Structure 1
């Protein structure tokens, strides 16, 4: 949160390690303090958004910050190998994967080319987006639907991580691992944590 404040204020920390000494210190291993599962959108680089250096974050990026077996395995790996006990699932405003899913749910994606692999991402986002559309109604303003859908998708991915892995479930119950949702605002650079404790 402090790093994101620095990013928003454009006051990058002088203590962030990115030079030759930092690289040398990390050759033998790493101990990232957080796992970040975020969208692969080029405008959402977690290390920059949180003003962190080499070795600080274990970043997993995939369109729509969806959760699939290999991504769960990546979170499990960081938690088991490095002892990392914080995982942040971060969506963002104006997410293309969520827009494609919303278009599909509303029947507005006619003519859009969805390969089998892109379709897989849309299908992983479908359930939370359908829930939002059902609750808000199809007449709801498109911007409001998008905002709600992005957040619902983040919460869905958090739930999937919490309950889709025996290892992560045990670490949450017995070793204090925390999985939290967040949304990055492209417009301001600010990260909002959803449902904070």
Structure 2
């Protein structure tokens, strides 16, 4: 058993995800064993944010598989870890969209602290094996969390087909979609999509304060 730490999940999520946790987490823990990323205490880091604080949802796929990189928030790395290629492309679009420079590292906690929920669909990965923990039950847990946001005054930013499948869980929610920022697809429509300014415009149209995207 891996004994994933659930103590960091804010209580406001529990009415929405408790059943999915009870039905799926025991199997996940059996299947993944003791070798997984991020560290057990960071697996549910994204859901430490109170539900009512969420302004923007950015959906990722699964954690970075390089040891020392993943820290529980989608696309973000630990402080001091150089930004991976997809995140470098996100920084490039941030600069083109709002004139804001990125960082040398991949630490996105400044966004998270403003209500930008950086949530992966799959919350663990085997070291060095991207996608290795798909279809073990994580998707049911994160689907329940995403459904909890439906109809609220939030904006969802969904990059790539996997993330865009979450539109089905978000009726009545403004969704900004584009190809994924990975080097394989960024030039097929991610660059030039202006997700940051569009998200702020959508928030302000709902009377919700804009996000300061500076890092």
Q: Who wins on radius of gyration, i.e. which is larger? A: 1
TM-score with structure 2 setting the length: 0.24
- Which one has a larger percent strand, Structure 1 or Structure 2? 1
- Which one has a larger percent helix, Structure 1 or Structure 2? 1
TM-score with structure 1 setting the length: 0.26
